[in-house]
Amino acid sequence: MSEFEFVTSKGEKIPIVITVRRGLRNITLRPRCGDVRRIDISRPWIASNAAAMKFVEQKRRWLERFFENAPCRVHIKSGDWFEFLNMWVHVIYDANIRANKFVHNDDGTYTLFVGGDEKMIESRVRMFVKSELLKHIKDLIRQTPREFWPKRICLRDTSSRWGSRSTTGTISFSWRLGLAPYDVMRYVVMHELAHTKHMDHSPAFWATVRELYGFGVERAKRWLNTNGAQLHQIL
């Protein structure tokens, strides 16, 4: 049992895990809604646990909304379908194969044959989504002017951010963008590339996003704001 807890207005007790990190200047907070719902906090060594808990209370309204809207996790098993960048994928377990096999069917759907240990189906589907998404992201970036290219690309499992760009030139994306429509994923990629020139959300920044993305930026943005939480529902 965690030493610290966040108790919602409905009485749910959510564990809080506090980690001390040297070099950190501010307290950071990250709620998680996977198989285990919890709140991860990183604090500088000079800040106390009491200060971290006070920060949690300051974010109470936002945390309440986050956990209220967070969907329950749905697990993937053999025979299930999931959507990958506009492609409907049928998951089939085959104990006779070792590596994943991705097949385009005559009806326009796809089948992902998964082998190995049957208990690892979800893990192997997750690996497929990550590897294929990374290929699509790299392909999109190569189509933009070289001045926007990042030094490094990372995929993470973030609960509150779809993408971020560091001052060192690394761009990180949530791998769950692979479960979104293709144009929504493309919007997030262009959004983060635009931060190469504008580390804010000024009119100049949005003009750069539209220049990179083309028509339909607002539609993709609205879809993500409305349906983004659903991307955390599976896997």
- What pLDDT was estimated at residue 1? 47
Residues 57 and 102 in one domain: no
Per-residue pLDDT, averaged over 131-135, amounts to 97
Residues 136 and 220 in one domain: yes
Residues 193 and 227 in one domain: yes
Residues 213 and 116 in one domain: yes
Per-residue pLDDT, averaged over 112-120, amounts to 93
Residues 142 and 100 in one domain: yes
**Angle formed at CA 143 by CA 138 and CA 144, multiple of 5 degrees:** 100
How far is residue 7's CA from residue 25's CA, in Å, rounded to a whole number?
27
Range of the domain at 86: 81-232
Residues 59 and 17 in one domain: yes
Q: Which of 197, 201, 196, 199 is nearest to 221 (CA)?
A: 201
* Side chain identity, residue 149: W
* Side chain identity, residue 183: D
pLDDT in tens, 13-47: 899 999 998 888 899 999 987 667 899 999 999 99
How far is residue 150's CA from residue 8's CA, in Å, rounded to a whole number?
40
Decide if 74 is inside a domain.
no
Number of domains in the chain: 2
How far is residue 114's CA from residue 46's CA, in Å, rounded to a whole number?
48
Residues 201 and 222 in one domain: yes
Decide if 220 is inside a domain.
yes
User: What is residue 134's three-state secondary structure?
Assistant: helix
Residues 43 and 85 in one domain: no
Query: Percentage of the chain surpassing pLDDT 90?
Result: 75
Residues 52 and 147 in one domain: no
Residues 116 and 27 in one domain: no
Name the pLDDT band for 175 (thresholds 50, 70, 90): very high
pTM: 0.73
Structure-block tokens of residue 133: 């998404």
Residue 199 phi, psi dihedral angles, 5° rounding: -90, 45
Residues 124 and 183 in one domain: yes
pLDDT in tens, 52-80: 999 999 999 999 988 887 766 778 999 99
Q: Last residue of some domain: 48, 69, 90?
A: 69
User: What is residue 4's three-state secondary structure?
Assistant: strand
User: Can you state the angle between helices 217-227 and 203-213, rounded to 10 degrees?
Assistant: 100
Decide if 102 is inside a domain.
yes
The CATH number linked to 213 is 3.30.2010.10
pLDDT in tens, 75-85: 899 999 999 99
Query: Percentage of the chain surpassing pLDDT 70?
Result: 97
How far is residue 3's CA from residue 17's CA, in Å, rounded to a whole number?
8
Per-residue pLDDT, averaged over 84-100, amounts to 95
If you average pLDDT over every residue of the chain, what do you get? 92
